[in-house]
Structure 1
């Protein structure tokens, strides 16, 4: 008999949702600064329980074309070398489910079935770009989950992110990890999709977005 789903999970973000003002639009509804789309918000709009800086084995790359940001999106591939800087939010299972649904431009709800990802570490719910769930570990008794594409970094053409999107990551990394502009640029510049398109100096010069 399967055990009951966890009441709380950590949502590990590696892209624009590292920036807290961006994530609040997924929780409460609204339009993030610099974006071209409004979000409905979660069924449960209560604030996240905790926020922690985190890193996990693997890497971030940029591919496909975002109609919201007009550039490449961030994806996580656990098979890439190195460690990916993330920001983890302690949320309810329902909130994690609704964030994932909104990433796929769908209506929030119902709750995702987390049985397979918690048992095996991975579950491809569909072919969409953010429909593959990953279990990255556990923190303080709660599973750490994220979502990414079903393909690997090697299987997709890279696409550089826009300045507005990259600025969201800059703001999120500064908030989460307390890094300087040059430390952030040094992390982002070598990532596939950013490399050969954005220089360290250009990234360091990006202004952090302003809270809505």
Structure 2
């Protein structure tokens, strides 16, 4: 039996609704270098909720969209990740996951993943790549929660993220959790990949710039 709707749990730039809409309805996020196709169904999520999930946030490797490190969810790490849950259809989730891997919405990967979701009890890894693993994070209001990450985050090469990427994450943390600049700086500044590369004062300055622009 299929799932009519699931919660897609975002923990990085997709925390910001405007950035997530690029995955849903297409477009290029400010500061990014990629145009997104969008989902077959470009509708906004039915609902959005700020959530916290156990685990850690890690920045590693190099993004072809932003330059600098990309964010990954490490389910084995101690701590709590500030995330945002979007209630979407399984088709939309499959299309978002496909775009994360630069595959076409509605293609074989998207269809196969959407069909697999009802049977995912913990995690499933589909093929090679960096965002190739879907993790189930329990339930919220009767619907399952899923996120996308790498199967072995500890094996990735740590790397500091670019300013534009951090700005989108900061916008999302303000929107979904009401964090102020100081709290955003403490939260992000403690993440592997950022720690020692970005000072908290530098991160807070970015958030102040972001707040004045939004």
Query: What residue number does 2:22 align with?
Result: 25
Q: Deviations over 1:9-65 (max 9, x none)?
A: 000000110011100011111011110010010000111100000010100101111
Q: CA distance change for structure 1 residues 80 and 114 in 2, over 3 Å: closer, same or farther?
A: farther
Work out whether residues 117 and 123 of structure 1, in 8 Å CA contact, stay in contact via their aligned partners in 2: no
- Residue in 1 that maps onto 2:133: 132
Structure 1 moving runs of 4+ over 6 Å? none
Q: Structure 1 residue 120: deviation in Å?
A: 2.8
Per the alignment, residue 52 of structure 1 pairs with 49
- How many residue pairs match? The answer is 207
Q: Residue 81 of structure 1: which of 78, 82, 102 is its match?
A: 78
Partner of 2:185: 185
Work out the CA distance in 2 between the residues paired with 1:20 and 1:116: 24
Indicate conservation of the 8 Å contact 1:56/1:86, yes or no. Answer: yes
Output the CA distance in 1 between the equivalents of 2:118 and 2:128: 16
CA distance in 1, matches of 2:138, 2:121: 11
- Alpha carbons of 1:21 and 1:116: their partners in 2 closer, same or farther (altered >3 Å)? closer
For the residues of structure 2 that align with 1:75 and 1:117, how far apart are their CA atoms? 23
> Is residue 27–residue 99 contact of structure 1 (8 Å, CA) maintained in 2?
yes
Residues 116, 47 of structure 1: alpha-carbon distance in 2 compared, 3 angstrom cutoff: closer
Structure 1: 5+ residue stretches without partners? none
CA offset at residue 116 of structure 1?
6.5
CA contact (8 A) 1:118 1:135 kept: no
How far did residue 117 of structure 1 move? Answer: 7.1
Mapped partners of 2:41, 2:15: distance in 1:
20
**Aligned partner of residue 71 in structure 1, secondary structure:** coil
Structure-2 residue corresponding to 1:62: 59
Structure 2: how far apart are the matches of 1:10 and 1:208? 27
Distance 1:24 1:116 in 2: 22
The residue aligned with 2:35 is 38
Q: SS where residue 66 of structure 1 aligns?
A: coil
Q: Distance in 2 between matches of 1:131 and 1:124?
A: 6
Deviation at 1:208, TM superposition (A): 2.2
Question: Contact 1:116–1:122 (CA<8 Å) still a contact in 2?
Answer: no
**Counterpart residue number, 2:210:** 208
Whichever structure has more helix as a proportion of its residues is 2
8 Å Cα contact 1:128/1:150 also seen in 2? no
The root-mean-square deviation of aligned C-alpha atoms, in Å, is: 1.5
2-side partners of 1:29 and 1:61: how far apart? Answer: 27
